[in-house]
Homo-oligomer: A and B are copies of this chain.
């Protein structure tokens, strides 16, 4: 979930200034159109302490006309507020149609902080979050443009940030005892936030997780997202009064925002990792033995394992899968290759065929490509609408949660190679008679869309690498290294679950 926000985005000063000049003008212009539009804009700025939430809001106020923006700071609840249901303070602060309201921390902070300090149980938090989902759905159904930004800093970055703020006499006052106390809870805060973000990242109102390590990047990311979503919503809704407009017009589908930083999770991988032949042979045997043992133990406990293998073409998915199955008795596993859906499958919701393939108790099942096709190939090749694939992140998270609640172990692997290595492997395949079947026109076509796929993978990992079912990225430039990492990841996941 936070992986994509830890790649260290940055924007150079000149680029920032050039971009901001355009962005400011456009934001102001759009804000003018908003005044007569029939929907409000509700912006939630959440995230870790010291991640520049306040500065981001100040920047937005500076870029736009602050007379039409109301901000709501999350101070401790007043006695007036404590005497009403928790959402009351937010209801009274909602901006009217045609205006922008910015909520620091939003309605999400209270359940998260309460859970971090163990002041409520997991199920009490879930209950609050479900109430929040209903509240946000009401807002979106009523026509609101709801934007939720989560400002993220890695633990190391947060430590540095707090330290540098407390060193500078100008900013020292901003770092309180509470901040350092909370920092000690960083890991717990991260875990609870991940749960809360997963639960409240719906198709209607997804979170945008922003890398807060570089201020320029952070501000551009928020400003650009706001501008693009505003444009889309203005285009979709015009100025029809919401109560009269049919429900179908309530909001624009959430289109992906054009990339702001140059880095993605994939671009920062260390693809140089290698294994020599001898260590490989030795480790392969050991790893396969360990996997075999883990699977037997899982079978004895009637626990099933689902391994999702995704990756770029020619990244070595097949070879890695054969190293898994090579360790197992044929009665213990099944490999399910996923191609384009059949005519029958298209007559059902897209998750249907994956439900149909779920294994019985105690088995290991490998999906060679999977339900993630929805947010990869179907997205990039426009085989479904933006609304459909945007919705599916939450649907996929729900699906995997059901598997895990039922006791399944879920392992998700993304195998990655560089564009150069892919070309080398394609050419080699074409040159080798018995490998030619492996390379098709489609592979070359996909290759042309490399950067679109890269963005799709980045967003997929941001939205679906959850605390209960994280993605593991396998650097696959070296096949030996990749195969060992795959075997180890699967084995550890099974062991951890037992």
Identify the A interface with B (CB < 8 A): 40, 80, 83-88, 91-92, 94, 96-98, 123-124, 126-127, 130-131, 134-135, 138-139, 141-142, 144, 203, 241, 243-250, 253, 302, 304, 344, 346-352, 355-356, 358, 360-361, 378, 383-385, 387-388, 391, 394-395, 398, 402-403, 405-406, 408
- Cβ of A136 to closest chain B Cβ, rounded Å: 12
9 example contacts (A-B, Cβ-Cβ < 8 A) are as follows A84-B360, A85-B358, A88-B358, A134-B398, A142-B350, A243-B385, A246-B385, A247-B253, A247-B391
| Cβ B388 vs Cβ A96 within 8 A | no
Contacts of A383 on B, CB cut-off 8 Å?
243
| Cβ A94 vs Cβ B352 within 8 A | yes
| Cβ B243 vs Cβ A384 within 8 A | yes
**Bound-state Cα–Cα, A2 to B370, Å:** 44
Query: Nearest CB to that of A138 among chain B residues?
Result: B395
Known contacts A85-B406, A135-B398; can you find 18 more A-B pairs with CB under 8 A?
A83-B302, A83-B360, A84-B406, A88-B355, A88-B358, A91-B352, A97-B347, A97-B348, A98-B347, A123-B127, A126-B127, A130-B130, A131-B402, A134-B394, A241-B346, A243-B383, A247-B385, A247-B388
| Cβ B349 vs Cβ A92 within 8 A | no
Contacts of A40 on B, CB cut-off 8 Å?
347-348
**Contacts A130-B130, A247-B391 given; does A360 touch B80 at CB 8 Å:** yes
| Cβ B131 vs Cβ A398 within 8 A | yes
| Cβ A141 vs Cβ B203 within 8 A | yes
Contacts of A92 on B, CB cut-off 8 Å?
355-356
Q: Which 10 A-B pairs have the closest CB atoms?
A: A96-B347, A247-B387, A248-B248, A91-B355, A83-B361, A85-B406, A243-B384, A85-B402, A123-B123, A142-B349
**Bound-state Cα–Cα, A144 to B351, Å:** 14
Contacts of A87 on B, CB cut-off 8 Å?
355, 402
| Cβ B94 vs Cβ A348 within 8 A | yes
Contacts of A139 on B, CB cut-off 8 Å?
349
Copies of this chain in the oligomer: 2
Query: Nearest CB to that of A384 among chain B residues?
Result: B243
Contacts of A348 on B, CB cut-off 8 Å?
40, 94, 96-97
| Cβ A349 vs Cβ B402 within 8 A | no
- Cβ of A358 to closest chain B Cβ, rounded Å: 5
- Cβ of A487 to closest chain B Cβ, rounded Å: 26
- Cβ of A223 to closest chain B Cβ, rounded Å: 25
| Cβ B351 vs Cβ A138 within 8 A | yes
Query: Nearest CB to that of A402 among chain B residues?
Result: B85
Contacts of A86 on B, CB cut-off 8 Å?
402, 406
Query: Nearest CB to that of A389 among chain B residues?
Result: B243
**Bound-state Cα–Cα, A301 to B85, Å:** 16
Contacts of A91 on B, CB cut-off 8 Å?
351-352, 355-356
**Bound-state Cα–Cα, A132 to B403, Å:** 15
| Cβ B350 vs Cβ A243 within 8 A | yes
Contacts of A387 on B, CB cut-off 8 Å?
246-248
Contacts of A398 on B, CB cut-off 8 Å?
131, 134-135, 138
Partner of A84, one of B248, B358, B391: B358
| Cβ A344 vs Cβ B96 within 8 A | yes
Contacts of A97 on B, CB cut-off 8 Å?
347-348
| Cβ A141 vs Cβ B402 within 8 A | no
- Cβ of A302 to closest chain B Cβ, rounded Å: 8
**Bound-state Cα–Cα, A383 to B406, Å:** 47
Contacts of A246 on B, CB cut-off 8 Å?
253, 385, 387
